[in-house]
Amino acid sequence: MKSVLFTSAHFIRDLFQAFVAALLLAASPWIQANDILSSQPILLAAADTSRLSLPSMALSPDSLISKAIQDIRASRLDDALHEVNRAIALRPDFKLAHLIRGDLLLARARPISGLGFGSTANKQSLTDLREEARVRLLRYIDQPGPDLFPRQILQLAPDQKFALLADTSRARLYLIENINGEPHLKSDFYMTIGKNGTDKRVEGDKRTPMGVYRITDQLPRASLADLYGDGAYPLNYPNEWDRLHNRGGHGIWLHGVPSNTYSRPPRSSDGCVVVANPDLKELSRWIKVGSTPVIITERTEWVPREEWERSRDDMLGRLHAWREDWEARDPNRFLRHYSHSMIKGESSNWARDKRRNILDKEWIRLELSDINLFLFANDEMAYAEFIQRYNSNKLASTSTKRLYWKLEQGTWRVALEKAQDIPATINLAKRN
């Protein structure tokens, strides 16, 4: 972006418009420049401008900074400085707010040419803060409408009240609520991921894994170093899909920030998902250890209800076809649901045993319940988890079944299957 010198409010507005446009367009080519450079206020996808008004946003430093940028774009510099000062009063450790405040004060005395022009911070720190400004503002431009659904969450089981959806390209952690079987956005939070991005593969690569995980534990602040802030929630990385593909590393957590920090840059962790301490406290109200799923994806796709229902019904249809072909005791039809990696080579013994077990039964009945369905890996992977009640003339069992589906030449096929038996005592307790 060309350097622009200015001394008036008009040029300040133009500079910040150009700066915001350059930042957003660099990483978000689907947003049109005219939409950002318009003299009109930045509009939310939800068309809910009350999110950018006071007092509804008064207690959020994040919102105050976005409101300040709005004021700068409208040449309301005193108002912008007021909002920035309010953000700093709430969070004296909010580095981005201090950076913007310095620019606003400096602009009164001499020309400047960009965010952080008068800062003495090193180049990397300025780059980090500019990226933080980009993703924070993008949250208010790219906010999904209330009538849209996250395509990555196709179904939540009745007892699965909440799920976390980490959008790494937007640096947002979405809290999704299960309302009458539909996934609705309840809230969202700025988040930090690994220094080197996503697709974790080996120990120490400082990347965040992609996939479907579970929160396995809650670690209180008293047991942790200050780096982890107000607490931590370990994830079950590496999960069984990661281990199948020899992905290494460990210690991937959802955790807070140090006590002297409000937020960290979008890419600054060693692979963990990091949120501000107040946000972690808020999230703790909805997290259920051992149950809450965390879906980490490159980009959440927000779609209309009709499109979401089609995706959901398609995967449910494939799951029920899998069940029906098993009940039909037709091994050829049943094994067509599986990837070649499951029925060829090293897995051929599994396929042979499955064929024999099916033909050995006089009848088979299956009941699937408590179904969770998720998409990940750019929607080329699907994950199904459910309670399976199996009955035949020779065996009765109840288990938790997990299927990892992979899109192969346009067809969904099971690439990994795992099951864990549920003891009869636990099963009876659930029914009672």
**Tens of pLDDT along 370-402?**
999 999 998 999 999 999 999 999 999 999 999
Residue 411 has pLDDT above 90, yes or no: yes
pLDDT of res. 112: 60
**In this structure, what are the phi and psi dihedrals at residue 49, rounded to the nearest 5 degrees?**
-70, -10
DSSP codes of every residue in 46-114 = T--GGGGSTTTTTT-HHHHHHHHHHHHHTT-HHHHHHHHHHHHHH-TT-HHHHHHHHHHHHHTTS---S
Residue 244 has pLDDT above 60, yes or no: yes
Confidence of residue 129 (pLDDT cuts 50, 70, 90): confident
Least confident residue range of 10-19, 108-117, 287-296: 10-19
Question: Any idea which fold 303-431 has?
Answer: Nuclear Transport Factor 2; Chain: A, (3.10.450)
pLDDT of res. 127: 82
Q: Which residues contact 360 (CB under 8 A, 6 or more apart)?
A: 394
**Higher-pLDDT residue of 27, 259:** 259
Residue 431 has pLDDT above 60, yes or no: no
pLDDT of res. 432: 43
Q: Which residues contact 207 (CB under 8 A, 6 or more apart)?
A: 194, 196, 197, 198, 199, 200, 201, 271
Three-state DSSP class for residue 231: strand
Residue 17 has pLDDT above 60, yes or no: no
- Per the CB < 8 A criterion, the answer to whether 372 and 154 are in contact is no
Residue 114 has pLDDT above 80, yes or no: no
Q: Within 13 A of 249's CA, how many CA atoms are on the CB side?
A: 23
Three-state DSSP class for residue 148: strand
- Per the CB < 8 A criterion, the answer to whether 414 and 319 are in contact is no
Greatest mean pLDDT among 73-82, 114-123, 190-199 = 190-199
Enclosing H/E stretch for 355: helix 348-359
Domain boundaries, the chain: 9-141, 148-300, 303-431
Percent of the chain with pLDDT over 90: 63
Q: What is d(CA 51, CA 353) in angstroms, rounded to the nearest whole number?
A: 58
Q: 254: which strand partners?
A: 233, 273
Top CATH class of 148-300 equals mainly beta
250-292 pLDDT tens trace: 999 999 999 999 999 999 999 999 999 999 999 999 999 999 9
Whether pTM > 0.85 for this model: the answer is: no
Q: Which residues contact 430 (CB under 8 A, 6 or more apart)?
A: none
Residue 50 has pLDDT above 50, yes or no: no
Q: What is d(CA 176, CA 51) in angstroms, rounded to the nearest whole number?
A: 19
- Of 209, 168, 157, give the one whose Cα is nearest residue 369: 157
Structure token pair of residue 324: 């029906």
pLDDT of res. 111: 63
Least confident residue range of 26-40, 56-70, 216-230, 297-311: 26-40
Least confident residue range of 121-135, 143-157, 218-232: 121-135
- Per the CB < 8 A criterion, the answer to whether 28 and 142 are in contact is yes
335-347 pLDDT tens trace: 999 999 888 877 7
